[in-house]
Structure 1
C-alpha cells in the first residue's frame, strides 16, 4: 500500500466528507478521525465544527486520482467503526465515490451486509481478502490436497507429525534467530504448530512471523496492529485487511476462519487508532510483500535483526 498525503485544503474537504460518512462522532469515530489528522493529514481541525460537503465540492477539490482512491478506501474503513453501515451511509459513500470517479468494490461488499445478505457478503469478501491468497498459496505449494489438509488441520481433523516436527525443531536454533523466536511465540501462547490439530496451514504462517518481526502481541490491539502492518506492505487488496479487523472488532461480524473474539467499537479504546496508523505506516516501508509467496524457511535460521534489516522493517 502506498500512502498519499493531501495538502491542507484537500485534508479539510476530506474530513468534512468523512464526518458525514461517520454520521455520528462516536468515541471510535472521533479517535479514528483524530488519528487520521495526526498521522496522514497533519492537521488539527475541530471535528465538531466541520460543515457538511456535497459530492461535487469534494470532487472539485480532489484532482489527484491516487488521493481519490485512498479517500474512498478511508470511507469504507470509517463506515465500519461501530456497526453495520446504515443505508444512508452506503448512499453517501456511493455518491462521493461516483463524484470522484472511483469504482470501489468494497462498497458493494459491505452493502450486502447492510442489506442482510450475509451469503453474498461473505462470498464477495472472501474472493478479494487475504484468506483467498492463503488458499491460493497453499494450492500452489501443495496443490489441491494441500488445501484440503490445511483446512482439515485447522479444524482439528488431521495431523501431520512430520510437518509439526519441523517447527518443533526450531527450538534448537540460537535464541536470536527468527526461527527460535517463532517457536517461542507458539510455545508461550500455547498455539498449535502447523501439522498439529488446530494448527494454521503453512500459507498463513507469515501472519505469526509478522507478529514476531514487528513485536506485536496477540491481544485484540496487537491483532489490529499486525494486520495494519501487513496491509502496509501488501500489494493485493490491502483495504480488505483493514476491513477484516474492522468487521471483526469494530462491527462484531465474525470473518476470521478460527474461533476468536469478536467485539464492537474497538477503536473507542484510547490510543488504539494511533498505534494502528503507526503500524500501517511502518508496513509501507517494508520492501517485500511477505503475505504472498514468501519462502520463509531460509530466513528462520537468520538472526531476527538481520531479517528485519533485509526487509526494511524499522523500529
Structure 2
C-alpha cells in the first residue's frame, strides 16, 4: 500500500483523532508536537492549530474516512504518532483500539503497540522483523540461495567464515568508473570501514538495498543519516510502508533493539529538526517510481551513473521534498 493523500476534510478529521489519542494520557510533549507539525507541513499540507482542534468520536471519523485503504493508513498513522512519544500509555492504546474498531482496520502496528506496552519484546522483534525491513530481505535470501545460502550469509556476518566468490564480486567494484553506482558503493564501504558481503563481518546481501538507498539519497551514516535513510525507504515502499516507520520508531525513539545491524537509541526525536527531516525523507521516497526493496536487480545498475539512476527512479533533490 503506497501512501494515500487525504482530502483536506479527511486530514482535519485525522488530526482531531491524533489529538484524541495523544492527549488521552496528558498534554502533548515536544517530540509529538514536532512530529505533528512536520506531518502537517510535508504530508497533509495543512496548518491547523492542534490545541484548538475539537475531539472527534470514532463514529464521526468513520463517516469522514470511508475508503478502506485510507482507513488502514490512518490507523497506522495513529500508531506511528503514538510511538513518537517517550513511552506508550495504556490510555493511548485504548483510544487507538476504539478508532481501529470503528474503522474496521487493525493493521500489524496495533498489535505491535500492544507488544511494546506489555514489554513482550521477543514477540515484538519477531513481529516487526517479519513485516518490515528484515522479513522481506530474509525471504529474498531464502529464494535466491535456500537455507544453505542464508546460513552462509549469517556465518559471514558472524565472522565465522568468508564467502570468497561473493566477496570478490564486491571488491571488483573498485575498477568501476567514477560516478557509477558500483564505484560509489565501493567507496561508501571503504570510507566507512565496512566489510563487503561475503567478507567476515560483512552485511548479508539481503540488506544491501539499505546501503544503496544511502547512496542514492545522499544520506550519511551517523544516527541522523541512518534514520533519514530508513524513512526514505519507508516512503518508496509499496508494501506496508508503515512497517518500516514502526521499525524506525521502536528502534530509535523507544530504544528497543530490533536488529544487530544497528544500535538502538531512546528519544531520537528530541534532536532539534529531526522530526521534520524524517517526514521530508519519507515524502522524498514517495516520489520515487520504483520500490527498491521489491526485487530490484541492483547489479544490472552498477555500471550506470548515479545521476542517471536518480533521474530514472525519481530520486528528487532534497530541496524538492520540502
How would you bin the TM-score normalised by the shorter chain? over 0.9
1:301 aligns with 2:303: yes
**Of residues 196, 216, 219 in structure 2, which corresponds to 1:216?**
219
Q: Distance in 2 between matches of 1:60 and 1:269?
A: 37
Who is 1:227 aligned against? 230
Give the drift of 1:196: 1.2
Match of 2:206 in 1: 203
The corresponding residue for 1:99 is 102
- Whole-angstrom distance in 2 between the partners of 1:280 and 1:112: 25
SS at match of 2:83: coil
- 8 Å CA contact 1:31–1:268 kept in 2: the answer is no
Aligned pairs, number = 314
| Aligned 8 A contact 2:235 2:286 in 1 | yes
Question: Displacement, 1:178?
Answer: 0.6
Q: 1:98 Cα shift?
A: 1.0
- Checking the alignment, whether the CA contact within 8 Å between 2:43 and 2:283 is kept in structure 1 is no
8 Å contact from structure 2 (residues 2, 241) kept in 1: no
For residue 121 of structure 1, report the CA deviation from its aligned partner: 2.0
CA–CA separation in structure 1 for the residues paired with 2:274 and 2:120: 31
SS across alignment from 2:316: coil
Name 1:12's counterpart in structure 2.
Answer: 12
Aligned residues of 2:233 and 2:285 also touching (Cα < 8 A)? yes
* Matching of residue 253 in structure 1 with residue 260 in structure 2: no
Map 1:113-128 → 2, pairs under 5 A:
113-128=116-131
Is 2:158–2:201's contact at 8 Å kept on the other side of the alignment? yes
Please list, as runs of the form range in 1=range in 2, the aligned pairs for 1:136-151 lying within 5 A after superposition. Answer: 136-151=139-154
Question: For residues 121 and 56 of structure 2, what CA distance do their matches in structure 1 show?
Answer: 32
Match of 2:264 in 1: 262
SS of residue paired to 2:202: coil
Q: Could you tell me whether the CA contact under 8 Å between 1:37 and 1:43 is conserved in 2?
A: yes
Moved more, 100-109 or 120-129: 120-129
1:38 to 31, 38, 41: 41
Deviation at 1:18, TM superposition (A): 0.8
Aligned counterparts of 1:284 and 1:180: Cα–Cα separation in 2: 26
Q: What is the CA-CA distance between 1:66 and the residue it aligns to?
A: 3.0
Deviation >4 Å, runs of 4+ = none
Aligned pair partner of 2:50 in 47, 58, 64: 47
Deviation of 1:195 after TM superposition, in Å, equals 1.0
Instruction: Give the alignment of 1:56-135 within 5 angstroms.
Output: 56-135=59-138
List gaps (5 residues or longer) in structure 1: none
Equivalent-residue separation in structure 1 for 2:54 and 2:270 (angstroms):
23
- Any conservation in 2 of the 1:83–1:252 contact (CA below 8 Å)? no
Secondary structure of 2:145's counterpart equals helix
Q: 1:209 offset after TM fit, Å?
A: 0.6
SS in 1 for 2:88: coil
Deviation at 1:216, TM superposition (A): 1.0
Q: Report the Cα distance in structure 1 between the residues aligned to 2:95 and 2:219, rounded to whole angstroms.
A: 35
Alignment of 1:241 with 2:252, yes or no, is: no
- Post-superposition Cα deviations, 1:104-140, rounded to whole Å, max 9, x if no partner, equal 1220122022112222222222222220111111111
What's the secondary structure of 2:76's corresponding residue?
A: helix
Match of 2:22 in 1: 22
Once the two structures are overlaid, the 10-residue window that deviates more, 115-124 or 189-198, is 115-124
Which whole-Å CA distance do the structure 2 matches of 1:164 and 1:204 have between them? 15
Indicate whether 1:160 and 2:163 are aligned.
Answer: yes
Q: Which deviates further from its counterpart, 1-10 or 89-98?
A: 1-10
Residues 272-306 of structure 1 show CA distances to partners (whole Å, capped at 9, x for unaligned) of 22221222122122222211322211211111112
TM-score, scaled to structure 2: 0.92
**Contact 2:2/2:237, CA 8 A, preserved across alignment:** no
Residue 280 of structure 1 aligns to a residue in which SS?
A: helix
Instruction: Find the partner of 2:277 among 275, 278, 284.
Output: 275
For structure 2, which runs of at least 5 residues remain unmatched after alignment? 318-322
